[in-house]
Chain A
Amino acid sequence: MDLSFVILVEVLYGVASLVLISAGLAVVFGMMKVINLAHGEFMMMGGYATITAVGLGVNVFVAMLVIAPLVVGLIGLIVERLVIRHLYGRLVDTMLATWGLSLVFIGLATMIFGNTTTGISTPIPGFAFGGYQVNGYNFFIIIVSIVLVIAMYAVLRGTRAGLIARGTMQRSDMAAALGYSPDRIYMMTFFCGSALSGLAGAVLAPLVGLVPTSGGAYIAKAFITVIAGGPSLIAGLVSSATSFGLVSQFFTFAISPVIGEVALLIAAVVLLRTMPQGITGRFFKGKL
């Protein structure tokens, strides 16, 4: 009983962390069709923003949930104005440009923070459940990702801004004809996507040792999750994160963490072979 609860928490945590890692990319790649290979570096910068802010005496939750998304969002804004806006609609070119950006960010972070591992400790203590110790921070990550998904849904579905953004992504010429500036809407959407990446990096920072090259660890998982999710933004994100989280955690517990990672990749291959349009290309069609 205790064990099944602990495993349930771990599985939920696995799903939640996939949602977090992929949310920013889902907006930037899924909505805007920009292949952002610097996504991992946006997360890395979120982590550094948190650690720097905490070092300056800011409350750790404020640093993670407010400062890091803002900082990374602003960096994303600058990047969008300087580079990305010239490349909308040119899928392969965005790939090359953002790959270059990722190298630049790694270089800059190395210059500023040095090439050593840094980190902060988790702000929430672990607790005992039956005979087991559970990492209290896992619950925080689960809650953050649930709130995140609900917030994204609410904004895209419920607000006028969300409606305009979705409309612009589908037919920017029509949006322009209706008097909205696609240029500004793209800019704001990229800002939101970057901020989400920053948030993910910040929230995961206390669990890892951060180095300037940390982003590389997330990028593959993020792309797999978003691509396997398919055309629907939120339904796709949640459904693919759930499937992959379940598969990888199942094999992790049954065999080993290495096999868990392998199982995730195999699941992705099988999934994309049977459903080339992604999960939401077949199920939950037309959902957001």
Chain B
Amino acid sequence: MSMNRRELLGGAAALSTAAMLPQAAMAADTIQLGSILDTSGIFDAYGKPMDQAMRLAVKEINDAGGLLGKQVEVAAYDTQSDMALYSQYAQQLTRQDKVDVVHGGILSASREAIRQTMRKTKTLYFYNVQYEGGVCDRNIFVTGVTPAQQVEVLVPYAMKKSGPKVHILAADYNYGQITARWIQKFVEENGGEVVATDFFPLDVADFGSTITKIQQTAPDLVFAPLVGGAHLSFFRQWSAAGMKDKIPLASTTMGVGNEHKVLTPEEGNGIMVAYNYSQELDTPANIAFKAKWQAEYGDTTAIHELAVSTYQGIMLWAAGVRKAGSIERDAVVDALETGISIEGPAGKVTIDPQTHHATVDVHIMEFEGQGMTVIETLPQRAPIDTQAVCDLQANPGDNTQYEIEI
């Protein structure tokens, strides 16, 4: 049998098309959702409930008939709290699995490790975590709160309860540094004064001298955006020194990973915080959410702010897909940019078209008996910090994380 080059090429093309057919048909049957989270290692206290929340959201979408008549399928990778694995799995998700959307990333470092891969491969990316603000990229949507959203409401409340002199203790990396500047700004705007600011590396666990120093500056209020297990020692030593009933404490981080359940009630009671979510939130949406979680996992104690953000992020994405009537990235982005909103367990969440961040309800809370009691709810706080530096409507090609100047 003789075969010329044209016939050979034609045959090969036909064969390979045939080979690709079933795969293409399969891909069209389901929608692929990529998830990339630390569900083991030192950040698993954050990552595990986020993973559970992601699966709960997907199950709910599928039980309700899926999206655009298709089921949503999860491709989840555990990055084991190792930043190097983020870029590896991001390649896997975008180039091999070719997922339609990626939700995930916990630390800011992990987000920055995968953000450019998502952008290059035109894979829509959702980052569902409280962070320092300033990311400006049309391909990403951020559903967690940023410092200004918390600080703007927490500072006036805490100052009203205590007084105008504030001492700041912050974690010594970009989150703490930026948050401390926001606190200073709002303290001054509210007619107060920052008497001192101290920064602590993440492994500092001895705050004895700091507590003495605070007594020297004699503030009316201590603001403590401290991060991680070692810094938890501050709250313990503060209470051990008997300071807790003398100078009130406020924090923007305490409780995000359910740290308040580690402190005894005597150590924690009265600490003021402001978040998007609290388990104690007494709304029908939250009660229903907790019931669903209970039915799925049997125990609701693990639910925290980041898990709820993840759940809300997926629901926002689903709303965007429904509105777009398509799974194409640009169509979904356009749909989300119409200022779409959903009712989540923590209240109404709206996408801010200008920054791709979320406008959320912020609740001022106080610790009480290892829970967070909601004192006051401030509806629909916009991400004003990122808005000050980022305008994706005017400049859709932007791809930077701005350091917010205050």
Residue from B200, B209, B215, B264 within 8 A of A131 (CB atoms): B215
Q: Which residues of A contact B231 (CB under 8 A)?
A: 209
Q: Which residues of A contact B259 (CB under 8 A)?
A: 117, 209
Assembled-state Cα–Cα distance A137/B206 (Å): 13
B232 an interface residue at 8 Å Cβ cutoff?
yes
Nearest CB of A to B81, in Å? 9
Residue from B201, B203, B232 within 8 A of A119 (CB atoms): B232
Q: Which residues of A contact B206 (CB under 8 A)?
A: 17, 207, 257
Assembled-state Cα–Cα distance A123/B160 (Å): 33
Q: Which residues of A contact B42 (CB under 8 A)?
A: 115, 211, 213
- The stretch that binds B, out of A2-10, A169-177, A271-279, is A2-10
Q: Known interface pairs A133-B242, A211-B229. Does A3 touch B44 (Cβ–Cβ under 8 Å)?
A: no
- The stretch that binds B, out of A59-67, A195-203, A248-256, is A248-256
Report how many residues on chain B are interfacial, defined by Cβ distance under 8 Å. Answer: 42
Assembled-state Cα–Cα distance A216/B203 (Å): 9
Q: Which residues of A contact B40 (CB under 8 A)?
A: 115
B198 an interface residue at 8 Å Cβ cutoff?
yes
Nearest CB of A to B285, in Å? 27
| B241 and A209 contacting across the interface, CB-CB below 8 Å | no
Q: Known interface pairs A209-B232, A258-B200. Does A132 touch B205 (Cβ–Cβ under 8 Å)?
A: no
B: which residues have CB within 8 A of A?
40-42, 44-45, 172, 198-201, 203-213, 215-216, 229-233, 236-237, 239-243, 246, 259, 262-264, 266-267
A121 an interface residue at 8 Å Cβ cutoff?
yes
| A137 and B262 contacting across the interface, CB-CB below 8 Å | no
Q: Which residues of A contact B44 (CB under 8 A)?
A: 115
Assembled-state Cα–Cα distance A14/B212 (Å): 13
Residue from B41, B200, B205, B213 within 8 A of A115 (CB atoms): B41
Residue from A116, A124, A133, A257 within 8 A of B200 (CB atoms): A257
Q: Which residues of B contact A149 (CB under 8 A)?
A: none
A243 an interface residue at 8 Å Cβ cutoff?
no
| B237 and A119 contacting across the interface, CB-CB below 8 Å | no
| A121 and B239 contacting across the interface, CB-CB below 8 Å | yes
Assembled-state Cα–Cα distance A116/B212 (Å): 29
Render A97-140 as a binary contact track against B, CB cut-off 8 A, 1 for contact. 00000000000000000011111111011111001111111100
A214 an interface residue at 8 Å Cβ cutoff?
yes
